[in-house]
Amino acid sequence: MNTVLSRANSLFAFSLSVMAALTFGCFITTAFKDRRVPVNIHVAKVMLKNVDDFTGPRERSDLGFITFDLSPIFDWNVKQLFLYLSAEYATKSNSLNQVVLWDKIVLRGENTKLNLRDMKSKYFFFDDGNGLRANKNITLTLSWNVVPNAGILPLVAGSGHVSLPFPDTYESTKSY
């Protein structure tokens, strides 16, 4: 006969196998869902401010507004979204530079229709070699990571971006 420990081990292994199959079934129901939504990014005016410190020149920009509705993304398998606005540009030394300007975490149950006005960049551009000044093609894109209850972490780019030129000079900062 089987001992009590042998039967408990068999029951535990069977329970784990059933839970793994259920988790995979839950994952497969949302694995192929398209998680892109339209995004409206508008930049009213780009201002670059030079901030000198020990690390070299940094530039900060005023972004304008972004509007989007994230409600189609949220379903039973989405815990939260990690949103981030990134800028892509090319310089003489690098063919592709990517900088995150702003980020936000949206939890399930929070307002999913976001209308962000008078937005300023949360993080600085670190410009090695003055590649941002007078750059004529900087593309702003809103992307997000979906954090699910079960499954993979997809990286999704919004279906809307804006390309814009940056000014030739820095804005002067007022000191009071």
pLDDT score for 129: 58
105 — pLDDT class (breaks 50, 70, 90): very high
pTM above 0.75, yes or no: no
* Stretch 47-58: mean pLDDT: 55
Judge whether 37 and 70 are in contact, CB under 8 Å.
yes
Give the separation between CA 53 and CA 37, rounded to whole angstroms: 40
- Cβ(30)–Cβ(50) below 8 Å: no
So what's the pLDDT on residue 101? Answer: 83
pLDDT of residue 136: 81
Q: Are 140 and 118 in contact (CB under 8 A)?
A: no
Number of neighbours of residue 97 by Cβ within 10 angstroms: 19
Task: Considering only residues 132 and 23, tell me which one the structure prediction assigns the higher pLDDT.
Answer: 23
Bridge-based pairing of strands 62-69 and 125-126 is unpaired
Q: What is the DSSP string of 119-161?
A: EE-SS-EE-TTS-STT-S-EEEEEEEEEEESSS---EEEEEEE
* Alpha-helix residue ranges (DSSP H) falling in the chain: 4-30
Mean pLDDT of 49-64: 55
On the question of pLDDT at 157 being above 90, the answer is no
